[in-house]
A and B are shown apart, each in its own frame.
Chain A
Amino acid sequence: MPTAPFLAVYRFSVKLVRRSKRTKVFVAVAALPVVLALILQINRLASPGLNLDGLAVFSNVVMGFSLQFLVLLLSLFYGTSVTADEVDNRTLTYPATRPVPKNAFIIGKYAASVSFLLILLLVSTILAFLILMVDRLSYGTAWAFLGRSLAALSLGTICYTALFTLAGTFLRKSILFGLFFCFGWENVVQYFPGTTQKFTIMHWLKSLLPGIEAGMGPSNDGTGLLKFLLFRHEPSPVWAAILTIFVITAIFLGLACYIFSRKEYLFDE
């Protein structure tokens, strides 16, 4: 039985991602939280007087680094690569002249990028968690904490990659747009008070993090595990956050498919 086009594109793209030399660089980048966790844990063991709570370090430091930096950076590169790589390398002609619908091409490549990123980020986060919590693994709440953190990272990867896939389909300078979006818009507007912060994806992702259900009070009162990460965050309900993330991801992907199927790509000759 012939393979579905989306699946065929997915398999082909996974092969390309695995083969790429740049993958090694990004694997090293994604391993930084693990390195960080190792350094901190070794320090904690070497200096018993050092008051370092593993869960606090994981929640503020590892999650802060992963969610506010790593997810953005990796999604930016792999999201824009969905189409931009093919156009820059002038290889778009090959998949474009196969019996593969354009939607299937976008979705297949997007899925391959997201799969790869999820593996990288989740493995790295879990390893960092295990290292930092090695002496508190029986602490049940910590695992729930980890679960919600992994959910935030996963949904962040899915959503940001979709956004940058869209950017890559119609912007020539998608990287620049992405950099201004990540280090400008997301990193600044998320700290604005009131409804304004809801115009960032980061707001909805942070609303998924543990202990911040609506009605439990603001996160900037100096208490709680996530006081650094959730500084000035005015959380939305978890169900609203999940729904919003899925809806905007679907919108981004839908627009990307629509634009890709109608746009003509001319290579620089």
Chain B
Amino acid sequence: MAIAERGYTHWQGTLGTGRKPWRVIAGQSIRLAWKRKYFKLAFFGALFPALFFAGGIYVSERISDFKEMMRGAEKFLQINPAYFQAYFGSSFLLFMMMVIMVGAGAGLISDDLRHNALPLYFSRPLRKRDYIGGKFASLAFFLLLLTLAPGLIFIVLKLIFAGSFKLLADYPWLPFSFIGWSIFLSSFLSLYTLLLSSLGRNRRFTSILILAVYFLSTAFFGIFFGIFHEPAFCLISIEMNLRQLSAALMGAKPLFNVPWIYSLLVLSAIMGASILVLRKKIRGTEVIR
């Protein structure tokens, strides 16, 4: 009787088709981020504006019931592109998204660099785009939950509470704006975070970099705008560029009299630079000089 070999044996089957390694990386990164208590806190904190604005949509259809309480708020509660721009372009929401990027994204690549995990990844049948795509997807997941999901829910709530399709009749491009803006914002912030995460092996350092660059750009804008009163300086600030672009996409009045296409170019340049740097930094072998 033959005695079976109890050591390691090669698997004789065939690899499954349609495999998507980036989904594995994305799923793992999402689960890791979600495990942290403070991250859950920050994420639910970031949902407050969405709840507030959703409440606003409800109240807008019941103004007379809330008239006493809402004296002076009627103008704000007109549900139009400016209302949605107030949500999508709000400083608080952008700040909370940055905090979430720090929590979920600062260590995404820096931890892999620190623990020398890249050779482990690339010793599997994994391409660079799968690796970057997976990390990108984990960040975009959280960001879309804060942008696309509330945006579509706002529209649905308005339709339900108004009992009519007037919103869509007046602004038929609105759902597409929400989708377009959410995808662009999520892509930008994800690539921005991955770029900075790839620049260091120390998660604390990359955490600070992510927020510092964001706030520094706004601080410099504030200084130059305060002195020269030239609106073009808004192109220095990441936050202002994002708000300019979101106003353009929502069809609302922009903050500054600067063509939105310039903001799009600035942000796209940062995304392009991010992709170039990531392609250079992410490699399976470490070169020691």
Contact = CB atoms under 8 A, between A and B. Distances in A.
B74 to A, nearest CB: 29
Interface stretch (A72-80, A114-122, A236-244, A249-257): A72-80
Interface stretch (B2-10, B129-137, B154-162, B211-219): B211-219
Given A29-B212, A32-B216, A69-B216, A77 B227 contact: no
A73 B215 CA distance: 11
A162 interface: no
A119 to B, nearest CB: 20
Interface stretch (B23-31, B64-72, B202-210, B244-252): B202-210
Interface in B133-183: none
Contact of A88 (B202, B219, B220): B202
A142 interface: no
A172 to B, nearest CB: 10
B99 A65 contact: no
Interface residues of B, number: 23
B38 A176 contact: yes
B227 A57 contact: yes
Contacts of A84: 204
A29 B220 CA distance: 12
A36 B236 CA distance: 13
A40 interface: yes
Given A22-B200, A36-B220, A73-B212, A175 B207 contact: yes
Given A69-B215, A179-B102, A179-B211, A43 B223 contact: no
A57 B223 CA distance: 9
B193 to A, nearest CB: 15
A84 B208 CA distance: 14
Nearest to A50: B228
27 contacts: A22-B205, A25-B205, A25-B209, A32-B216, A43-B228, A57-B227, A61-B223, A61-B226, A64-B223, A65-B219, A73-B208, A76-B208, A77-B208, A84-B204, A88-B203, A174-B204, A175-B102, A175-B204, A175-B208, A176-B38, A176-B99, A176-B102, A176-B207, A179-B102, A179-B207, A179-B211, A183-B215
Given A61-B226, A76-B208, A183-B211, 9 more contacts: A36-B220, A61-B223, A65-B223, A80-B204, A81-B204, A88-B202, A173-B38, A174-B204, A176-B99
